[in-house]
Structure 1
Amino acid sequence: MFKVTPNPPEADPVSPPEPDSTRLNEAAPDFHIPSIADIKATPRTPGTLFTVDPQASSETLMVYLVETLASVDVMVHQLVDHLDGGARNALLGISNSVMLAEITANRVLDQIDP
C-alpha cells in the first residue's frame, strides 16, 4: 500500500514558526504572571455595585428567588414559540433547568416556613 504523505511529514510551510523566547522577553521585560500564592495573598474586597441587603431574611430572599425563576421561565417559554430545531431544544433544556431550580427553591421555602 502506498502512502501519499511521507512518514513523518515534512515541515508544514503554512504553520507559523515557533516564537523566539528571547525576543518575547525583550518585548515585555516587566510582564509578570501572578502565581496562585500571589492571588491568594490578595485580600478579597467584595464589590458593592450589586449587593443584597444583609438584613434581608432567608424567607424574603427565597421568595424573591422563586419569583425571579418563575419570571425567567415565562420569558423562556415566550421565546420558544419563535424558534425551531436545535435552538428551540436548547431553550427548552434551559427551561427545564429553571423549573428544577424553582422546585428546589420552593422546597427550601417550605422548610423555612411550612
Structure 2
Amino acid sequence: MIKDTPNPPGLDGETDAEATFTSSKPAMAERRPSPIFTTVPDVDNETLLVHACETLASACVMASELAFLLSGPKRNLALAIEQMAALAELSVNRVLDNVDPQG
C-alpha cells in the first residue's frame, strides 16, 4: 500500500536535530538575512562593542534576577546563563580596551 504522506521527521532512524541540520543546511545557504534588524552600515567598531557590552551586562542582570526567583536545577541553569554572559562581557570589554585604550 502506498502512503499519501511521508514519515514525520525522526521516524527513519535520524533524530530531529539531525534532520533539521541536514535538511536546512542548503536552504540556509540560499537564505539572505532580513533587513528588518540590521545595524547602520557605517557604525564604527567601538560603538558596536560598547552596545554589545551593555547588552551582555543587561543579560547578566536579568539572568541573575531570574535565578533568585527560581530554585534547584532551574536556578542553576539561570546562574550558568548569567556566568556565560558575564564571561562574554569580559571578553568584549578586553576587545574594547584593545581597540581604544583609555590608559
Structure 1 residue ranges without an equivalent (≥5)? 1-19, 29-34
- Alignment-derived partner of residue 78 in structure 1: 65
Select the structure of larger CA radius of gyration: 1
RMSD: 2.1
Q: TM-score, length-normalised on structure 1?
A: 0.64
- How far apart are the structure 2 equivalents of 1:89 and 1:105? 24
- Alignment-derived partner of residue 77 in structure 2: 90
Structure 2 residue ranges without an equivalent (≥5)? 6-21
- In structure 2, relative to structure 1, the CA distance for the partners of 1:82 and 1:54 (3 Å cut) is same
1:48 to 22, 25, 35: 35
1:65 to 34, 49, 52: 52
1:51 counterpart letter in structure 2: T
Give every structure 1 segment of 4 or more consecutive aligned residues whose post-TM-superposition deviation is greater than 6 Å: none
Q: Deviations over 1:12-56 (max 9, x none)?
A: xxxxxxxx5xx13xx36xxxxxx98xx37x744331111111111
Number of matched pairs:
82
Q: TM-score, length-normalised on structure 2?
A: 0.70
Q: Deviations over 1:79-105 (max 9, x none)?
A: 111111111111111111001000000
Give aligned-pair identity as a percent.
40
Structure ranking higher on relative contact order (CA contacts 8 Å, 6+ apart): 1
- How far apart are the structure 2 equivalents of 1:64 and 1:92? 23
